[in-house]
């Protein structure tokens, strides 16, 4: 996956990358979209897909205290929480979420809160929140991926939003954040990209909004906020999919062993 720089808007391979890919006995990718790309670039090369997935022994939001988030941020108690935990750079697409939430506040002024946790980009995020005049929000400091407060955020967010951009490292990726969201067991609103479409299904495990369509993102959040049954259905389905297909505790460990045995025997 990490064959290019995330701050570039195009795929680029250096000579060492290209040589290594061609000389490898087999290339293992963790994105269906990247698998398809490399198969076009390297016809005949052994190419196997192994999802990034998640180890529920290392991080499981459902094992976190449901009270922890509200003890630390009491203003969130009783609110519909729109959660985001991920990068705060332009290429992570968070600008679209903040713009969409500013539109949501015009319709629902008191019940919905935006809760954002980013990795060291709070000044940029604060500037965006101010520019869009967002009032109902909380910023959570960066933590480790399995910190109890982050797990409690994932568990308590009614809707988790996954945005993207055209930057290949985001656009084509099946990002770890997506699997963390699925583990939370709550509804996901995800931007439609080749990466997210490799795992999530619209209306089944997530609401997939059209790429770069802030209005569709807004509509998706409001639809779920007003339909608790659909919200629960998407969250339950996503968690089940995570446990059965994308957990290193069962399915992925078995797949990895079979894959390595196959490669070593060829």
CATH of the domain at 217: 3.40.50.2000
126 and 22 in a single domain? The answer is: no
- Containing domain of residue 80, as a range? 61-245
* DSSP H or E segment with residue 253: helix 251-265
**pLDDT for 8:** 61
**pLDDT for 4:** 52
DSSP conformation letters of 28-59:
EES-HHHHHHHHHHSTTS-EEE----B-TTT-
117 and 215 in a single domain? The answer is: yes
117 and 194 in a single domain? The answer is: yes
**Which parts of the chain have pLDDT scores under 50?**
5
Residue 5 lies in a domain: no
**pLDDT for 7:** 56
**pLDDT for 90:** 87
**pLDDT for 122:** 80
139 beta partners: 116
* Burial class of residue 147 in the structure, from the number of CB atoms within 10 Å of its CB (0-12 exposed, 13-18 middle, 19+ buried): middle
**pLDDT for 125:** 94
Assign 200 to helix, strand or coil. Answer: coil
Q: What is the pTM of this model?
A: 0.93
72 and 173 in a single domain? The answer is: yes
47 and 175 in a single domain? The answer is: no
Residue 94 lies in a domain: yes
232 and 257 in a single domain? The answer is: no
197 and 148 in a single domain? The answer is: yes
> Phi then psi for 161, rounded to 5 degrees?
-110, 130
201 and 255 in a single domain? The answer is: no
Please tell me the distance from the alpha carbon of residue 201 to that of residue 233, in angstroms, as a whole number.
13
47 and 138 in a single domain? The answer is: no
Please tell me the distance from the alpha carbon of residue 130 to that of residue 126, in angstroms, as a whole number.
6
């Amino acid at each position: 996956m990490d064959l290019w720089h995330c701050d570039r808007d195009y795929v680029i391979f250096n000579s060492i990358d290209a040589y290594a890919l061609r000389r490898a006995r087999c290339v293992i990718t963790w994105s269906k979209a990247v698998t398809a790309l490399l198969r076009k670039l390297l016809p005949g090369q052994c190419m196997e897909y192994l999802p990034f997935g998640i180890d529920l022994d290392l991080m499981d939001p459902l094992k976190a205290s449901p009270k922890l988030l509200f003890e630390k941020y009491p203003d969130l108690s009783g609110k519909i929480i729109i959660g985001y935990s991920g990068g705060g750079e332009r290429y992570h697409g968070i600008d679209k979420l903040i713009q969409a939430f500013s539109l949501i506040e015009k319709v629902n002024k008191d019940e919905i809160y935006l809760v954002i946790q980013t990795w060291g980009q709070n000044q940029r995020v604060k500037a965006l929140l101010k520019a869009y005049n967002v009032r109902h929000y909380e910023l959570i400091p960066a933590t480790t991926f399995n910190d109890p407060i982050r797990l409690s955020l994932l568990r308590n967010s009614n809707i988790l939003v996954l945005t993207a951009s055209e930057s290949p490292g985001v656009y084509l990726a099946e990002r770890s954040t997506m699997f963390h969201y699925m583990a939370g067991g709550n509804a996901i609103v995800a931007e439609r990209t080749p990466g997210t479409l490799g795992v999530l299904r619209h209306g089944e495990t997530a609401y997939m909004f059209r790429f770069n369509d802030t209005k569709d993102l807004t509509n998706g959040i409001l639809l779920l906020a007003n339909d608790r049954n659909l919200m629960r259905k998407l969250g339950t389905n996503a968690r089940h999919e995570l446990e059965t297909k994308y957990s290193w505790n069962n399915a992925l460990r078995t797949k990895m062993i079979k894959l390595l045995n196959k490669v070593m025997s060829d």
